[in-house]
Amino acid sequence: MSMLSTYQCKESPVGVLQPAATGNKILDGLSPEKYHQLFSNLRHVDLTANQVLYDMEDKFESAYFISNGVASFLSIAGDGSSIEIGNVGNEGMVGIPIILREAKTPYRIIVQVSGDAVMVSAEILRHEFDKEGELKDRLLRYTYALSTYMCQLGVCNHFHTVEKRLSRWLLIASDRVQSNTFQLTHEFLAQALGTSRTGVTMAAIKLQRSGLVCCHRSQITILNRPGLEAVSCDCYPITKQVFEHFLSR
């Protein structure tokens, strides 16, 4: 049974943020003068590992622009088992259905790696999105990149071994938090990869014996990134290219 716990976000008003101060790549570069209402209503929130931002069928009241950390989109089967169908770090946003005029989420959104974000109400985001401009362009390009990534994950989850998928997941998480060390439990990785905890443990032990990672309690450190990239499937470079293309425009 999943040990997921729902936490209340610790929220504090931050006033008008300078774009670079948000740490989020969608918001970076936007003019605070042009998007005054958006920036003046951003609220800083702490993200705690295992925190459920939205559960299935929840209504989107707010969007989260991740500054640091990783949030995961989990598809939940009728028997309670889960598998990750996407995730987001500081390159993106939790709440794409808001701009697509969809009120509810079809999956559970949970924090994988703790960090922080800036949050804004769905109403304000829709209002700002409806303006023709850079925010709308960035969000549409991100939506395309995310949908491409989610399709690639479907291929990865079906065809590739647990070891390759774990390697891919660790590399993507490292890119998102810009660190080679992060806190993760094997139980949570099993939920994300749609496999057993034993399967994740065996794959992690193999990577550790190869000198690619170090696993100690709930902490994982990438020791040999080129080696881990060689073990990973082609889904990692494909995914990296998709988001680099989005961010370069």
DSSP 97-113: HHHTT--B-SSEEEEEE
Taking residues 53-69, report their average pLDDT: 95
The rounded distance, in Å, linking the Cα atoms of 233 and 30 is 35
**Phi/psi zone of residue 101: left (φ > 0), alpha (ψ -120 to 50 degrees), beta?**
left
Q: Which two tokens stand for residue 92?
A: 């993106």
What domains lie within the chain, and their CATH numbers? 10-131 (2.60.120.10), 157-248 (1.10.10.10)
Taken as a whole, the chain contains a residue count of: 249
Whether residue 38 contacts residue 47, with contact meaning beta carbons closer than 8 Å, is answered with: no
Q: Kindly indicate the confidence band of residue 33, based on its pLDDT and cuts at 50, 70 and 90.
A: confident
Q: At what angle do helices 197-209 and 186-193 cross, to 10 degrees?
A: 110
> What confidence score (pLDDT) does residue 163 get?
96
Q: Is pLDDT at 20 greater than 90 in this prediction?
A: no
**Tokens found for residue 149:** 């990534």
Query: Could you give the CA distance from residue 155 to residue 192 in angstroms, rounded to a whole number?
Result: 15
Q: Is residue 17's pLDDT more than 50?
A: no
Rounded CA-CA distance 212/221 in Å is 9
pLDDT of residue 216: 87
**Cα separation, 100 vs 68, whole angstroms:** 25
Give CA–CA dist 98/105, Å, rounded. Answer: 10
**Each residue's pLDDT tens digit, 125-180:** 999 999 889 999 999 999 999 999 999 999 998 899 999 999 999 999 999 888 99
The 3-class secondary structure across 27-56, one letter per residue, is CCCCCCCCCHHHHHCCEEEEECCCEEEECC
Report the pLDDT value the prediction gives residue 40, as an integer from 0 to 100.
93
**Per-residue confidence (pLDDT) for residue 6, from 0 to 100:** 35
3-state DSSP helix/strand/coil percent for the chain, to nearest 5?
40, 25, 30
Give the pLDDT of residue 151: 94
